Structure 1
């Protein structure tokens, strides 16, 4: 049995994980999708540095497991990195894709979905105080759609061989954070990830910024739908500069924020599908794309002075011009580079690394893979392997990837609950700055206690991952994690500290070994 002292020691140290469940053929298939052509030739930096493959996988993926190791071993570390930087799309096992394809957010366009929900909301408002069940049904549907979006993300994080694509999708979702609690944003989150973030996560930063600027979830969350000439709302303009591009204290002024807000007047959403009445002389400026709407009658057509440049009033093209300007600012290059380095390297990346990445960002006009390649090839990145503390998402997904590699889960509910318990639910951060990637945000004793409970739940069998909610339990016994008998896990444990290896040797049975392994300090870092 585990003593209370052992439990406390391991829990306060940390736990975690790894992921996937794809065959090697599927992994190789996923690596061939839509390669980026701009990257320089494959080097041999990682091979020459004799990098530990498991540590590299733990950094490039949501957690090392046997499947990802097979994928790496079929090539080499440098070629594997190159494939990850170039690969696109989410290729998952058929049984997982079937789950994703059955979701409402996969079958219905955002425009049709919102129109239906708006009719439901209006009906609920009309019956308010008379039949509140209609509003309850409306709220339940919003929550169901939000859960679908989170589930789809988790399934891809676990099973897609294009792990860097999945990590970068989550990184940018956090960078362009949208809180789910406002209005009907819960219904928009799936589309925001699918169409504004995912296609550009390993693409060009300007395309990514532009896609978020046109998405109704962003415009609603940061109140730009209320931004009109004579009634300026600066919320979105401020966050574009402070959080999305240049960063706070980067040289822009309050006047720049005000002028950008003027540029963004009239940029909003239209949820009812009815075109507004536009004056004939302004009709040529009107733009409608899905739920996005640029209403020229709400736009300030005067010239603006933004970052020392005159922006001539001409409608929506003003926004296009300033987005390009922002992506090409040296401050933006430094800010984005620091964010990426904090996520992938350390809590305090060096100025030299940030400057090197920023140079690549500017020279490539915002090419994300090229910027990442500069970081991955740096001695600082290589030296950091195995030291970066895992946030809750990396812990949870990693546990499932490692413990159930080769099995297909049918219920992400336990994982969503774990993330809620650890304070990192999908789109649960209320302010637009997103979740912290600093160790100090996640290494509290309370956090470690929850992680230990998760490790114990995993070690003693399936915690509901293989049982569909509101349905009878399957007749066959759900798979149990075979970590104690896994040669891959055993080999991993051989690289752990002497203290951890001694603890594993003291395990009385496979379940105890699983707990010791998943709760070890080494499993808390990537």
Structure 2
């Protein structure tokens, strides 16, 4: 029965109750509902036998960006084992819906090769700085900066469209993970023009492939080389920045057994690895005849042997025998295959796909899989999915902002393609996890504590209200500061998505806590029901 006290106080009471649950605890598990439909088990022995509806819904939540009707249908038709196998090795035929692909095809980053795009933006920057008066320079640089921001926005929009609608959900999810692991900050220098290509060509093709291939692709991309200053690294002018992060953050880990001497040696290995300054088609730089055969240019990547340190080097206690760019590859082979790298990388994968404090036995199994398969990422994930620890973690991992926003949109709108990504990108900005926005090379934190502050919860409730009212069906106006205010003003004109009738909600009802059941029972409208569910601890965890 609806209380008789004023509705605004009623809502405040319900939200405060749910806030305490969402921040301080995981959802309370109750006895699961009976298995509604048999799903073939073709995975490891016993791991997925007798999987009930809540478990299947939570499995989809974990291996995708959020449970949808199409995902449920695919899982039911294929069975758990075949579905996971298809997600682990999706091939090249995971087409987006026509409306989503059309938005991507219209982007400048889709229509213009990165070499041309980067050269044009660099030329515009130089021309702007050469304008004769201060006012003209300011105006030209302002236009240049706006166009650079637009390129970053296109890359972010493309990521969101793929995350929302690609059938290869695990690949898109791991693309975000690796973009975060090999983080670059779009706000530095000219990286706004490069970050989309970095994701498209260096990271996404290798997101489920071999770690060594992924590592090599990031080392050769101008976004990484400019972000961590290796484009400035040359014999006689050593810059250790990238070498240090390459070992500490990208491979071995801070406790990986390397020394400052190793950092210095790796920095010497990386001398000459940089970004081509000349437009495509122009003559290469002047190089001594004896070194010309070592010159390499691939797109914007350049290895200039004239800038390379050719003296002998030792890395991790062993001499390097190759020379030139091959010396770089030998060093990367050594780093990628080090036992410390296997432990460091697989622990981060466990933090991402299991949660805080993964069990030691699980970490050992994942590290063994990494070493046994020479860093096959899909094989490591397959090992993870077939462990009892992974299954036990379903529904218990607190969603970071990217997971929260995308899961909310997928639940509310399913496969219906939204007309724009502005609301989602604005919400991620407000939740302090904008795409390509982490200034430091460590990437956004993966632990739950980083995202449970009171300010974060307050903003999540506002976003839950907007998603629950159907705000995302209309592109958000700019400037972004007006986003939520204008959305709420027009929310009453929209039909809220029927979350209470969704298969996802019906599957999870048996797992709700008494506090959540009570709050939802007192909702005064479908819009308020949506708000309360999206702000509940059960939805905050996935």
Distance 1:96 1:466 in 2: 15
Structure 1 residue 303, shift from structure 2 partner: 0.9
8 A Cα contact 2:47 2:387, kept in partner: no
Structure 1 residue 246, shift from structure 2 partner: 0.5
2:105 is matched with which residue: 97, 101, 107? 101
8 A Cα contact 2:423 2:476, kept in partner: no
2:403 is matched with which residue: 386, 390, 394? 394
Match of 1:21 in 2: none
SS in 2 for 1:48: coil
Distance 1:524 1:43 in 2: 29
1:236 is matched with which residue: 218, 224, 242? 242
Verify: 1:60 aligned to 2:63, yes or no: yes
Verify: 1:499 aligned to 2:515, yes or no: yes
Q: Which deviates the most, 505-514 or 236-245?
A: 505-514
Structure 1 residue 263, shift from structure 2 partner: 0.5
Match of 1:9 in 2: 17
SS in 2 for 1:428: coil
Over the aligned positions, Cα root-mean-square deviation in angstroms equals 1.9
8 A Cα contact 1:288 1:294, kept in partner: yes
Verify: 1:512 aligned to 2:540, yes or no: no
Match of 2:152 in 1: 146
Output the TM-score relative to the length of structure 1.
0.91
8 A Cα contact 1:456 1:515, kept in partner: yes
Match of 1:175 in 2: 181
8 A Cα contact 1:342 1:348, kept in partner: yes
2:321 is matched with which residue: 298, 312, 325? 312
8 A Cα contact 1:213 1:219, kept in partner: yes
Distance 1:272 1:121 in 2: 15
Output the TM-score relative to the length of structure 2.
0.88
Structure 1 residue 495, shift from structure 2 partner: 2.9
1:361 is matched with which residue: 366, 370, 373? 370
Structure 1 residue 479, shift from structure 2 partner: 5.9
Change (3 A) 1:479 1:511: closer
8 A Cα contact 1:13 1:448, kept in partner: no
SS in 2 for 1:47: coil
Pairs aligned (count): 496
Match of 2:474 in 1: 466
Distance 1:423 1:120 in 2: 31
Unpaired runs of at least 5, structure 2: 1-6, 24-41, 479-486
Distance 1:508 1:243 in 2: 49
1:190 is matched with which residue: 186, 189, 196? 196
Distance 2:14 2:349 in 1: 36
Distance 1:173 1:429 in 2: 11
8 A Cα contact 1:11 1:451, kept in partner: no
Moved over 4 A (4+): none
Distance 1:293 1:100 in 2: 29
Q: Could you report, residue by residue, the CA deviation over 1:415-454 in whole angstroms, capped at 9, with x for unpaired residues?
A: 1111111110011111100000101000111111111111
8 A Cα contact 1:216 1:292, kept in partner: yes
Verify: 1:271 aligned to 2:277, yes or no: yes
8 A Cα contact 2:65 2:406, kept in partner: yes
Match of 1:324 in 2: 333
2:224 is matched with which residue: 197, 218, 222? 218
Distance 2:178 2:348 in 1: 10
Distance 1:491 1:352 in 2: 31
